Amino acid sequence: MTAAAHDERLVAVAELGERLSTLRLTDASALTAMRSSLRHHGQLSPVRAFERDGAIEIFDGFKRLRAARGLGLHDLRAVVSDVGVVDATVQMRELHAGRGLTALEEGWIVRSLYRDHQLTQGAIGSRLRCHKSWVSRRLMLVEALDASVQADLRLGLLAPRAAILVATLPRGNQPSAAAVVTRRGLTVRQTAQLCHELADASADARAQVLARWQRGQPPERRGGGARPARSAIETIALDVTTMQRCAGRLQACLATTPFAEMGPAADGVRRSLVELDGVLGALSKTIASMTAKAAGTP
């Protein structure tokens, strides 16, 4: 993307819009810290904005804007770029590349570009300088998450990591699971336990699992009765889903954490990745062979 013309100027707080704030999460503690910083040190960096339909819209600096409103400030320094809403949305991720954005926020940005602005997944990958598979995973993540759960997430009732775990459940089970997480104040680890239990439970048993967690009772211990073995098809489906989820998380971590930042652990991580590459290579060959046979390719 070519550099856009921009200028920095004072803009009245009342004139700054925040329509794109729906693509970001609100963190109460971060907002409190920003309000304290503004009060004691003033505005250290300008907000980023663009003009749209005669209004000035923020695309970076939502905490600064809200903190300024809370403090009753009249003006903020703003860099107003000569870009459209699509470029502004793209820059929301570029300005936080490798830091600051959760996977869900990245998913909201991708969904906005895909649904609201009708960009193809390939075009989004090109604009965000990401592989198309990354775009697809981010889109699937947010579109798999029930709207009511996303509302809890935006209100700060649900942690982003907990929401990602809840997203692994069928949409119909997500609101009730999220309600237990928020009412009981479950940790991310406890949320993972709850979601695993619900995923393994039969349709009739899920209500009992939720009721037990709602009462604050620990998970049932797996006792004497042996669990029925999964069929090969069930195992394949479960492992494919698990590997897709893990692959997306691992790719995101690798893309944002250079070896230079890993310190003494870098050598161990590198060796593990080399071993993993070999395993995935063998798996890829097996998948290619099986799918070719299924398609009737010699």
- pLDDT per residue as tens digits for the range 35-49: 999 999 999 999 999
Give the CATH number of domain 1-94; options: 3.40.605.10, 3.90.1530.10, 3.30.930.10, 3.90.110.10: 3.90.1530.10
Query: What pLDDT, on the 0 to 100 scale, is given for residue 115?
Result: 96
- 298 pLDDT more than 60: no
Q: Strand locations in 160-233, DSSP E?
A: none
Contact assessment for residue 90 and residue 113, using Cβ atoms and an 8 Å cutoff: yes
- 254 pLDDT more than 50: yes
Alpha carbon separation from 11 to 46, 78, 83, 146, 192 (Å, rounded): 10, 6, 18, 37, 45
- 2 pLDDT more than 50: no
Q: 83 or 247: which carries more pLDDT confidence?
A: 83
Q: 89 or 241: which carries more pLDDT confidence?
A: 89
Question: d(Cα 49, Cα 284) in Å, to the nearest integer?
Answer: 45
Structure tokens belonging to residue 188: 């991310």
Residues 61-68: what's their mean pLDDT?
A: 95
Residues 6+ apart with CB under 8 A from 158: 149, 152, 166, 178, 181, 182
Query: What pLDDT, on the 0 to 100 scale, is given for residue 98?
Result: 63
Residues 6+ apart with CB under 8 A from 253: none
pTM of the model: 0.70
Residues 59-88: what's their mean pLDDT?
A: 95
First to last CA, the chain: 44
CA atoms within 13 A on the CB side of 140: 13
Q: Is 34 left (phi over 0), alpha (psi -120 to 50) or beta?
A: alpha
